[in-house]
Structure 1
Amino acid sequence: SSDRNLFILIGEAGAGKTVVVTHMSKAHQQCVRAVHLCRHDVSARRQPRRIILSLAYQLARNFVPYRIEIEKNLRHYKQVVTGTPRELWDRLLVIPLSKLTKPKYFRKIVLIIDAIDESDHYMDPKGILNILRNRVRYLPSWVGVAVSSRGTEIIDVLGNQNPWVIKCDDAKNEQDVRKYVSRKLKTMGTVPEEELPDAVNTFAAKAKGLFLYVKHIFDSVATLTSASEAETLPDGLDDFYNRTFESLFPLDGKETNEKLEELKPILEVCVAAQSELKIAEISEIVGKSPTEVMQMLQPLSRFLGLPSDTSRCSPQTTLKFSHKTFRDWLVSTDPQALKKGGPSQAYVVSEMKGHKILAHYFASLLRLNETPVDRKNDGEDYELVEELITATKEDPLVKYAIRFCAFHASEATEWEVAKAVLTSLPHYELFARVQPGDID
Structure 2
Amino acid sequence: MENIGILGLGTVGTGVVELLESNGDLIAQKLGRQINVKKILVRDLSRARTPLARGKITARAEDILEDEEIKIVVELMGGEEPALSFIMRALENKKHVVTANKEVISKYGGQLLEMAGRVGVNLLFEASVGGGIPIIRPMKQCLAANNIYKISAILNGTTNYILTQMEETNKDFEEALREAQIHGYAESDPSADIKGLDAARKLAILSSIAFNTRVTPDKIYTQGIDGIELSDIKYARELGYTIKLVATGRRLGRSVELLVSPVMLRYDHPLSSVRDVFNAVLLEGDAVGRVMFYGRGAGKMPTASAVIADIMDAVRNDSGGRMYCTCYNELDVLDRGAAVSRFYIRLKAQDRPGVLAEISGALGKNNISLSMVIQKDVKNRVAEIVLVTYEVPLKDLERALDEIKEYDQVVEIANVIRVEEGVI
TM-score of the aligned structures, taking structure 1 as reference length: 0.26
Higher relative contact order (CA 8 A, sep 6+): 2
Q: Counting strand residues as a fraction of each chain, which structure ranks higher?
A: 2
Q: Counting helix residues as a fraction of each chain, which structure ranks higher?
A: 1
